[in-house]
Amino acid sequence: MTTKPRPKSATPPPTQSSPALRREHRRRSVFAYLTLSPTLAIVGLLMAYPLYVAIDLSLRGGQISDLLNLEQNPLTFDNYGDVLTDPGLVSDIVRSMVYTLGVVLPAFAIGLGLAVLLNKAFPGRRIIRPLVLLPWAVPGVVVSAAFSWMLDASYGVVNYLLRTVGIIDSNVAWLVDSNTAMFAVILPTIWKYYPFFVLILLAQLQSVPGELYEAARMDGASPLRQFAHVTWPAVRTASALAIVITGIGVFREFDFIFPLTGGGPNEATQTLAIRIYNEAFQFFEMGVAAALGIVTMAICGALLAAAGRAVRREFG
Amino acid sequence: MSTTLSRPRRWSLLALAIAVTSVLMFPIYWMIMTSIVPSERLLVSEPPLVPPADATSISAYTSVLSDVPVLKWLWNSTVTTVGAAVISTVVSTLGGYSLSRFRTKGQQAMGFTLLFSRMLPGTLLIIPTFVLFANFGMVNNLWAVTLVNTAATVPFTTWLMKGFVDAVPVEIEQAAMIDGCGRLGALWRVIVPLLKPGIAATFTYASILTWGDFLFARTLMGNPDGWTVTVGIASFIGEFSVDWSGLMAVGLISMLPMVVLFLLLEPFLTKGMTTGSVKG
């Protein structure tokens, strides 16, 4: 990431070192740090410091009774030992992956399809576009509430519609049955996340000159070939980045699973994020929860590193 | 970009778009439907798919407004959202300007911070954050929720804003400074007015995120007086006999401010996503 040459600099290096220029240079850099300092202060105080405390917490043994005086507890790797040897960890990781892929892949497919559709000129497009983007503005908990009602075992409209069409014979208790619960928490999450893909991919597509499609059509390219040779190259990098950013977000998502199932039934929807919360605020195993959080972060980091060079190109 | 399409093609695209939109908007339709049709008509195995003409009422809205402290919840959400959105916008305008105009080491660090902060599980951060605010006696304080949400949005909005500042030519503020403006004066009088779309995008993004926040508000606000609307709504779901009409009414009321904000600022948002996050 650091090997890439710097983009063209807005700050030309001082060619002569007259005192006046040096002073000006110093004033510039003071201003640069001054304007950046609120950002750094907020990120430092409310992310770096809690992260430091979390690491400290994860390394403390014994029953943690006083969170403000952690030094009373001995330093140890026991929490990590507990977490890493727990056979449940693998299941939690698998569930987190299933949830993440189950959300990101369909959300991306819907987002790409809609972006391609909305990039075409047809009457009513101006009304349709904000409508399909709307779920993004709906709070996750409201989405959860709507879907928990629609998926209700006795009176849910989803059961009614599926019965009418003949896909199911009798009602399914989507959120209560451990075979369907994961699907039932994935569905609302897709609904909330697909607009983000539409937003990004549509913006990318709008920068593609229409002549490219004209030319492709003149050459007799089928819609499929047009997609492969014009559309896809235009959105490929943005897609990779959007998938990674959304993927990391979904991997630690809390707002959908927790209100819908709390991680149940029978841990069927217990992802790492939910497990961390339950360890901390249900069982008050703060040390274990913190260690689990650090492990989750490490997994995210590893996935990110594996996610390839697209991201590095963007942020290098 | 708008390619010329034959007339039947355009109408078939519209038909497709309407079909897709109907499916995607069904949850919102069903919420509205549930909120205006009395429960006894819906709690049957074959609920009507359109509101029956003889049984449509807004009683769910009136009873919710009198039975649960919705207005209090909305007020709390408004305070935290406006607070977090304003602070995020100011901070990330300054930060985005700094990252765009001065190539400091901070720039790469911020790129990392953006991705890294996405990796921190919120459920992990909330434990020490809770401790931190307990230390300052700020549990059950709306400022705590505001600040945490600000911190959650700032890494991304700073990056978003940098993209917008990049699009403003450096010469503009240089000219202003030659005309006697200080650096801060040039930023305020010349750059900020040009950043309106970016400010709109940042404000919307931070608002939607904070208004929708559940985890931080739930954990930092034990006292029901301080509940935001998302925490209030979630408190409905766990109950044994859920008042679905009331719940959907509260849900729809809570969506309204963000939907209005979103519809007003959506054009900026589409632009912001390209300049800010994707082209970096």
Encode pLDDT of A70-95 as tens digits. Answer: 777 777 888 898 889 888 899 999 99
Which residue among B4, B10, B237 places its CB closest to the CB of A144?
B237
- Return the residue of A nearest to B274 by Cα: A203
Neighbouring CB atoms inside 10 A of B194's CB total 15
**pLDDT category, B274, cuts 50, 70, 90?**
low
Q: What is the mean pLDDT of residues A47-59?
A: 87
Given the structure tokens 């359109």, which residue do they identify?
B50
pLDDT the model gives residue A7? 47
A191 compared with A300, residue with greater pLDDT = A191
Are the Cβ atoms of A245 and B118 closer than 8 angstroms?
yes
Residue closest to A131 by CA, chosen among A118, A147, A150:
A118
Residues of A in contact with B155 (CB under 8 A): 39, 43, 47
A265 preceded by a cis bond (ω within 30 of 0): yes
Average the pLDDT over A160-170 and give the result: 85
**Contact (Cβ atoms closer than 8 angstroms) between residue A292 and residue A298:** no
- Does the distance separating the beta carbons of A209 and B112 come in below 8 Å? no
SS3 of A140, please? helix
pLDDT-based confidence at A312, cuts 50/70/90? Answer: low
Q: What is the sign of the dihedral through the CA atoms of B39, B41, B43 and B46?
A: negative
Please indicate whether residue A312 or residue B105 has the higher confidence score (pLDDT). Answer: B105
Residue B2 has pLDDT above 50, yes or no: no
Residue A286 near chain B (CB below 8 Å): yes
Q: What number of other Cβ atoms are within 10 A of residue A207's Cβ?
A: 10
Instruction: For residue range B56-69, list pLDDT tens digits in order.
Output: 888 888 888 888 89
**A274–B contact, CB cutoff 8 A:** yes
Query: Residue B276: which pLDDT band, with cuts at 50, 70 and 90?
Result: very low
Please determine, for residue A2, whether its predicted confidence score (pLDDT) is greater than 70.
Answer: no
Which positions in chain A touch B237 (Cβ < 8 Å)?
144-145, 148, 259-260
> HSE of B212 in the Cβ direction (CA atoms, 13 Å)?
27
User: Which of A132, A200, A209 lies nearest to residue B273, judging by beta carbons?
Assistant: A200
Instruction: Please report the pLDDT score of residue B104 as a whole number.
Output: 64
DSSP letters, chain B, are: ------HHHHHHHHHHHHHHHHHHHHHHHHHHHHHHS-HHHHSSSS--SS--TTS--SHHHHHHHHHS-HHHHHHHHHHHHHHHHHHHHHHHHHHHHHHHHS--THHHHHHHHHHHHHHS-HHHHHHHHHHHHHHTT-TT-HHHHHHHHHHHHHHHHHHHHHHHHHTS-HHHHHHHHHTT--HHHHIIIIIHHHTHHHHHHHHHHHHHHHHH--HHHHHH--SGGG--HHHHHHHHHTSSS--HHHHHHHHHHHHHHHHHHHHHHHHHHHHHIIIIII--
Contact B94 A140 (CB under 8 A): no
| Residue B77, pLDDT score | 95
**A313, pLDDT greater than 80:** no
Q: Check residue B197 and give its pLDDT.
A: 84
A3 interfaces chain B, CB cutoff of 8 Å: no
For residue B106, the model assigns a pLDDT of 65
**Per-residue model confidence as pLDDT tens digits over A199-235:** 888 888 887 777 788 888 888 878 888 888 888 888 8
Q: Give me the amino acid identity at B4.
A: T
Which of 157-186 (A) contact B at CB < 8 A? 157, 160, 171
Query: Which chain A residues are within 8 Å of B22, Cβ to Cβ?
Result: none
Does residue A63 register a pLDDT over 60? yes
Asked if A272's CB is within 8 angstroms of B147's CB, the reply is no
Q: How many residue contacts between A and B have a Cβ separation below 8 Å?
A: 342
d(CA B150, CA B154): 6
Which among B1, B242, B251 has CB closest to A119? B1
Q: What's the pLDDT score for residue A5?
A: 46
* Helix axes A272-281 and A286-306, enclosed angle (nearest 10): 160
Report A:105-144 residues touching B (Cβ under 8 A): 114, 117-125, 128-144
Query: B-contacting residues of A 12-31, CB under 8 Å?
Result: 28-29, 31
Residue of B nearest to A46 (CA): B151
Judged by CB atoms closer than 8 Å, whether chains meet at B150 and A150 is answered as: no
Note whether B212 contacts A255, CB cutoff 8 Å.
yes
| Cα-to-chain-centroid distance, residue A281 | 23
Q: B207 to chain A: nearest residue by CA?
A: A137
CB contact under 8 A, B5 and A122: yes
Q: How many CA atoms lie within 13 A of A27 on its CB side?
A: 9
pLDDT at B126 over 70: yes
Question: Under an 8 A CB cutoff, do A139 and B10 touch?
Answer: no
Rounded CA gap, B73 and A86, in Å? 41
Instruction: Say which of B30, B151, B219 has its CB closest to residue A157.
Output: B30
Q: Which of B158, B221, B278, B279 to mutate: most A Cβ within 10 Å?
A: B278
According to DSSP, the residues that pair with A302 across neighbouring strands are none
Min CA distance, A194 vs chain B (Å)? 10
- For the segment B111-137, the average pLDDT, to the nearest whole number, is 80
Using CB atoms, which residue from A119, A134, A140 is nearest to B212? A140
| Most confident listed range (A153-157, B58-62, B79-83) | B79-83
Q: What is the pTM of this model?
A: 0.84
Give me the percent of chain A exceeding a pLDDT of 90.
23
User: What type of residue is B73?
Assistant: W
Q: What is the ipTM of this complex?
A: 0.86
At B280 the pLDDT is 32
